[in-house]
Amino acid sequence: TTQQQWRPFNRSRVYMADLESALHYSLRVELAAHPIISGVDLISLKRFISVLAKYFPGRPMVKNLLQSVDTWLTERGDSELLFSSLQDMLDNTGLIADAILPEGVTWVGCQGTQAHFRGYPCSMWTLFHVMTVQATKTPGTEALEVLQALRAYVHSFFGCQECASHFETMAQENMNHVRTPSTAALWLWSRHNRVNNRLAGALSEDPSFPKVQWPPPELCPPCHTVKKNGEHSWDQGEVVKFLKGYFSSDRILPDYLE
């Protein structure tokens, strides 16, 4: 039963097992729905892999794998890509040394109390936040590089079509106003809270993980302030600081990795 397989975890930490599971699921399962990838979708895939190769703060073998796939994709000039040939690269059938993307999913921080809750979408949000935060710590990053790549992936491939169209609508509204890597991380945080707000109380919500405006006061007291009129407001400077700590590569826990 689900009960027996439950993996104890700290609800206020990020786990590498979720991030590697997100990669496995998106690249090997979600993309498999597209046997031939071309045109705009191929550009989306290249952008996504390229930011993963640059910013995914993973184990060396996983970074090596992402970098080898990125190089391969960049160097091949064809206008079409067969998913099956991408799959061979992901499985490293060419025997490139120390380059592996582990197979299968192990949800830890993204476990749900039932199989249809949380899991992949939770891990994608987590991956996206980690990537925008990594970009803030890398000199020379273009403000929109990561967000554009995530947006493109979601638009071309994210299996939840309703999610993809909501996200695209939010991106069209004002994503282009983002001017720095830190405001890119903030943009993603605030759009994620909008989604939380919309989904609070919905049937898709895991009752053990209610949707809240995040981070709640327990997690980041200084992020929350009260205006003169008594209304709640966020201290965005504190939120950026918090995001940079919470999603930073040196705080990601390695529990449950093989």
Q: Residue 122, interface with ligand FAD (CB under 6 A)?
A: yes
Strands, E, within the chain: which ranges? 36-38, 80-82, 224-226, 232-234
The whole-angstrom separation of Cα 108 and Cα 250 is 18
Sign, CA torsion 21/24/29/34: positive
Q: Residue 234, interface with ligand FAD (CB under 6 A)?
A: no
The whole-angstrom separation of Cα 117 and Cα 111 is 8
Angle formed at CA 140 by CA 137 and CA 141, multiple of 5 degrees: 65
Q: Residue 72, interface with ligand FAD (CB under 6 A)?
A: no
The whole-angstrom separation of Cα 19 and Cα 122 is 10
**Which CB, 100 or 163, lies closer to ligand FAD?**
163
Q: What number of residues does the chain have? A: 258
Q: Residue 49, interface with ligand FAD (CB under 6 A)?
A: no
**Which CB, 10 or 74, lies closer to ligand FAD?**
10
Nearest distance in Å: CB 70, ligand FAD? 22
**Which CB, 58 or 109, lies closer to ligand FAD?**
109
Answer whether 35's CB lies under 8 Å from 73's CB: no
Q: Residue 154, interface with ligand FAD (CB under 6 A)?
A: yes
**Which CB, 115 or 199, lies closer to ligand FAD?**
199
Q: Residue 206, interface with ligand FAD (CB under 6 A)?
A: yes
- Interacting residue ranges for ligand FAD, rule: CB under 6 A: 110, 118, 121-122, 124-126, 129, 154, 160, 162-163, 166-167, 189, 192-193, 195-196, 199, 204, 206, 209, 214
